[in-house]
Amino acid sequence: MTLFSKMPQIPRKDELLDKAFQRARKVKKTIDKHDRINSIREYEQNKISTVSTVISVTLDNILEKTPKISNLDPFHKHLVELVIDAGQFKKSLAALKWASRFNTDIGHKYRRRLKGTPLKSLAPVRKEYYGRVSSILKQIKKDLLFLEDCRNILKKLPTLKNLPTVVLAGYPNVGKSSLLKSLTGAEPAVQPYPFTTKKILLGYIDEKIQVIDTPGLLDRPIEEKNKIEMHAMLALQYRANLIIYLIDPTETCGYTIEQQKSLYENIKASFEETPILLCATKSDLSPSKTSRGKSKTKDTPYSLSTKTDEGIDTLKKRLLRSIDWKTYSFKPISFKSPPKRK
Ligand SMILES: Nc1nc2c(ncn2[C@@H]2O[C@H](COP(=O)(O)OP(=O)(O)OP(=O)(O)O)[C@@H](O)[C@H]2O)c(=O)[nH]1
Ligand SMILES: [Mg+2]
């Protein structure tokens, strides 16, 4: 179940009109021989009611089941604003509301009008109403299309659980998604090129810790970050109880240790309230020089490899052990001594 999974499919203008007119075609025609005009009038009124109801019920259902962006928590609100034009989304929903109300109003108006209409004009008046309804829907044609496009994007957004949360961050291609897979068993795409991960991915350690894999970040000011990088920044800003910063000392990721170290220092400074754990990836490729040797940051990184699983189990255990369940924060993690057995 995702945040927008209840948002109903948005019909195109013609689909909605066809649905309404088809339903109206099924209205039963029972003619009372003694009161022909009134029974035909009632028949035409029922057709108008049917069209009006189908349209308003469909539009109202969309309005009711679409979450209000302003009511979302800050993380999901910003995430939505990143992937769709939230201003236009609001305007299009307002247009649907207008159309629903206007449609109901003119439905009432035309049913009243039928009361004083002579027999031969009953069907033409009802047809005139059909024309009015078509023109209302024509005015929201683009809004319907836009909202359906948005729905297709929004229904794929992740819904985060309320659990202690670790955010994996680092340069592209350093092994973040591989670590998510090793820690949680999630199945993210892993490829030997940068920016494989384009959005936020989730995994869970023993259903106790939520792990967020993020797109790679480049070391540049926030104003210059692209939309893909901004997914990572939002996770760091709003959801990280602990940041695991991954550094690839083998530089097979395509970025130098210096670049990676500089981003590490920037992230530390930008999110100074959040504890940060420095991990050196791909220890299988250069076991001797991974952590202490080359990385040149004053913090000693913890070495691990998702190929040989070096360091993975210990990391998992330390994470589970360091949760403070009162605050969902993580106590400082140290790897100097082996984890105590219970
Ligand atoms: N030898 C070795 N290769 C690794 C290790 N971890 C990841 N890789 C490789 O590094 C490359 C990138 O791995 P990903 O897990 O996709 O890296 P990422 O940081 O998620 O990359 P983006 O999503 O593009 O930011 C892949 O070719 C992986 O197979 C490791 O521990 N050892
Ligand atoms: Mg990735």
- Which ligand minimizes its atom distance to the CA of 196? 1
Domain boundaries, the chain: 13-154, 165-330
Whether the per-residue pLDDT at 80 is higher than 90: the answer is yes
Whether the per-residue pLDDT at 342 is higher than 70: the answer is no
What are the respective helix, strand and coil percentages of the chain, to the nearest 5?
A: 50, 10, 40
Closest alpha carbon to 263 in 302, 228, 295, 308:
295
Residue 301 makes CB contacts below 8 A (sequence gap 6+) with 247, 249, 278, 279, 280, 290, 291, 295
Establish whether residue 284 lines the binding site of ligand 1, counting it when its CB lies within 6 angstroms of any ligand atom.
yes
Report whether 154 contacts 313 (CB < 8 A).
Answer: no
pLDDT at residue number 295: 45
Average pLDDT over residues 314-320: 96
Dump pLDDT digits (tens) for 9-51. 999 999 999 999 999 999 988 888 888 888 999 999 999 999 9
pTM of the model: 0.86
Establish whether residue 190 lines the binding site of ligand 1, counting it when its CB lies within 6 angstroms of any ligand atom.
yes
Query: Which atom of ligand 1 lies nearest, measured to the CA of 181?
Result: 15
Dump pLDDT digits (tens) for 164-191. 999 999 999 999 999 999 999 999 999 9
**% of the chain residues with pLDDT over 70:** 94
Cα dihedral 296, 300, 305, 308 sign: positive
Cα–ligand 2 centroid distance for 337 (angstroms) = 30
Dump pLDDT digits (tens) for 293-303. 444 457 889 99
Residue 256 phi, psi dihedral angles, 5° rounding = -75, 160
Location of structure tokens 């990088």? 229
pLDDT at residue number 289: 47
pLDDT at residue number 138: 98
Whether the per-residue pLDDT at 150 is higher than 90: the answer is yes
Query: Which atom of ligand 1 lies nearest, measured to the CA of 281?
Result: 31
Whether the per-residue pLDDT at 337 is higher than 80: the answer is no
Average pLDDT over residues 193-221: 95
Average pLDDT over residues 93-99: 98
**Could you give the CA distance from residue 192 to residue 40 in angstroms, rounded to a whole number?**
72
Q: Rounded to whole angstroms, what are the CA distances from 34 to 40, 75, 122, 135?
A: 12, 67, 18, 37
User: Which run of H or of E encompasses 139?
Assistant: helix 122-139
Q: Output 337 or 144, whichever has higher pLDDT.
A: 144
Report whether 47 contacts 27 (CB < 8 A).
Answer: yes
pLDDT at residue number 3: 86
Q: Whose CA is nearest to atom 5 of ligand 1?
A: 282
pLDDT at residue number 332: 84
Dump pLDDT digits (tens) for 118-138. 999 999 999 999 999 999 999
Whether the per-residue pLDDT at 330 is higher than 80: the answer is yes
Closest alpha carbon to 177 in 130, 232, 138, 140:
232
Dump pLDDT digits (tens) for 247-266. 999 999 999 999 999 999 99
| pLDDT tier for residue 288 given thresholds of 50, 70 and 90 | low
User: Same topology for domains 13-154 and 165-330, yes or no?
Assistant: no
Q: What is the mean pLDDT of the chain?
A: 92
Cα–ligand 2 centroid distance for 198 (angstroms) = 8
Terminal CA-to-CA distance of the chain, rounded, Å? 37
**Could you give the CA distance from residue 188 to residue 84 in angstroms, rounded to a whole number?**
24
| pLDDT tier for residue 2 given thresholds of 50, 70 and 90 | confident
Specify whether domain 165-330 bears CATH 3.40.50.300.
yes
In three-state secondary structure terms, 26 is: coil
Q: How many CB atoms lie within 10 A of CB 222?
A: 10
pLDDT at residue number 335: 77
Fold of 13-154: Four Helix Bundle (Hemerythrin (Met), subunit A) (1.20.120)
Query: Which atom of ligand 1 lies nearest, measured to the CA of 173?
Result: 21
The burial class, CB within 10 Å (0-12 / 13-18 / 19+), for 151 is buried
Whether the per-residue pLDDT at 290 is higher than 80: the answer is no
Cα–ligand 2 centroid distance for 111 (angstroms) = 60
